[in-house]
Amino acid sequence: MKIILAFDSFKGSLTAEEAVNAAAKGIIKVCPHAKIIRLPMADGGEGTTEAICKSLKTKWTTCPAHDPFMRPIISKYAITTDGTTAIMEMAAAAGLTLLDETERNPMRTTTYGVGEMIANAIEQGCKKILIGIGGSATNDCGMGMLAALGGKIETKKERLSYPKGQDCKDITTIDLSNISLQGIEINAICDVTNPLFGKEGAAYVYGKQKGANEKEIEILDKGLQNVANICGINPNYPGSGAAGGLGYGLALIGATLKKGVDAIIEAAKFEEHLKGADMVITGEGKVDNQTLNNKLPFGVMKVAQKHHIPTIALAGKVANIEELLAAGFHAIHCINEDDMPLTECMNSTIAKKHLTETTGKLCITLKN
């Protein structure tokens, strides 16, 4: 029997790797001779770089950069051992986690450090860059990143050394002719499909959680509109509004916007692992109808479905089961009791135990 375990994290409880290992433990107890393929995964958000690095042979490296307030930092990213591909997250240089809550303000933050990371990877000889663009503290439409790469971003008054969110409304010139990326492939990994601006755009949907008030959100949105008017590239392309418009900024230099789950599945060589598989078991903290919005379990199931391999989803909390089954899942199981307190459900030790037990019971059913 060959079983593939392809899990995202159980947020706040288990990492993807912990989930995979707990599930494997349950299988081994019941089917000690089963061939188990362990694939810790992510869908573009937190943990994406780590998930891809586990699928590729990589080494970690560091580079000097600047945080969202242009304070010097050392950022970390990975390079494949053949030196051809860099895997990074924009959050390593421009993420919310780099700031205290009192500092959060997308009017004043920049993606300049992201451009520094990309430039460093190119200097290292990388020809392909995979960059996760979740968790940003910024809303500068990637103008800071472009400036760091050599772009000339100007207002009527001055050239902006490191454009910030509040500057976008005043930009009059975006000259990218000095950015040389010939032979460089950039894939931006994102888990949102928002357009650049408007009520569903970067500022209105994500500005508040980054620290902007209502008036500032209006200003930021106007800035994004201004950049789009200058550049002329479609601002409604899914993912343009990711990371405060960084998705759009990356598209300006020829980057391809990829859904996180697609990039992870490709990097993990998931389809190759499906050969000879009897079952795929996937899951994350919560599985419901939102899972059908190309969350990791859904993406895994759709690929397995093409190869006629059944997929079972496990989660700490489950809803909309009939809808999920109709979409193609073979079965859906909650690892917790219905009346279990949330604090117990979120406890890492308990979650591992329940995931192991649930997977073991599944294998008994398969054997019978």
pLDDT at position 260: 78
Digit-coded pLDDT (tens) for 243-265:
999 999 999 999 998 887 888 88
pLDDT band at 266 (very low <50, low <70, confident <90, very high): confident
pLDDT at position 47: 65
Q: What is the DSSP letter of 40?
A: E
pLDDT(51) > 80: no
pLDDT(91) > 80: yes
In the Cβ-directed half-sphere of 43, how many Cα atoms lie within 13 Å?
22
Digit-coded pLDDT (tens) for 95-140:
999 999 899 999 999 999 999 999 999 999 999 999 989 889 999 9
Which residues are bridge partners to 317 per DSSP? 286
pLDDT(368) > 90: no
State how far Cα 78 lies from the chain centre. Answer: 15
pLDDT(55) > 80: no
**What is the radius of gyration, based on Cα positions, of the chain?**
22
pLDDT at position 295: 86
3-state class (DSSP) for residue 75? strand
Q: Strands (DSSP E) along 288-367, which ranges?
A: 311-318, 331-334
Cβ–Cβ under 8 Å, residues 113 and 77: no
Strands 58-66 vs 72-80: parallel, antiparallel or unpaired: antiparallel
Whether pTM > 0.75 for this model: the answer is yes
pLDDT at position 339: 81
Digit-coded pLDDT (tens) for 66-79:
999 999 999 999 99
Q: Stretch 134-160: mean pLDDT, rounded?
A: 97
pLDDT at position 29: 94
pLDDT(223) > 80: yes
pLDDT at position 44: 62
For residues 24-63, one letter each, b for 16 or more C-beta atoms within 10 angstroms of the residue's C-beta and e for the rest, the string is: bbbbbebbeebebbbbbbbbbbbbbbbbbbbbbebeeeeb
Mean pLDDT of the chain: 93
pLDDT at position 365: 80
pLDDT band at 45 (very low <50, low <70, confident <90, very high): low
Q: Stretch 239-245: mean pLDDT, rounded?
A: 95
Q: Stretch 139-153: mean pLDDT, rounded?
A: 98
117's tokens: 């990371």
For residues 84-98, one letter each, b for 16 or more C-beta atoms within 10 angstroms of the residue's C-beta and e for the rest, the string is: ebbbbbbbbbbbbeb
As a whole number of angstroms, the distance between CA 239 and CA 221 comes to 16
As a whole number of angstroms, the distance between CA 278 and CA 284 comes to 21
Q: Stretch 297-303: mean pLDDT, rounded?
A: 95
pLDDT at position 194: 92
pLDDT(54) > 80: no
Q: What is the DSSP letter of 13?
A: T
Strands 128-132 vs 185-190: parallel, antiparallel or unpaired: parallel
pLDDT(60) > 90: yes
Report the 10 Å Cβ neighbour count for 82. Answer: 9
pLDDT band at 267 (very low <50, low <70, confident <90, very high): confident
Digit-coded pLDDT (tens) for 168-191:
999 999 999 999 999 999 999 887
Which residues are bridge partners to 14 per DSSP? 10
Strands 185-190 vs 72-80: parallel, antiparallel or unpaired: unpaired
pLDDT at position 42: 77
pLDDT(299) > 90: yes
As a whole number of angstroms, the distance between CA 274 and CA 269 comes to 9
Q: Strands (DSSP E) along 242-348, which ranges?
A: 256-259, 279-287, 311-318, 331-334
Q: Which residue has the higher pLDDT, 110 or 45?
A: 110
As a whole number of angstroms, the distance between CA 59 and CA 83 comes to 9
Residue whose tokens read 């081994």: 28
Q: Domains of the chain by range and CATH?
A: 2-40+278-367 (3.40.50.10350), 48-260 (3.90.1510.10)
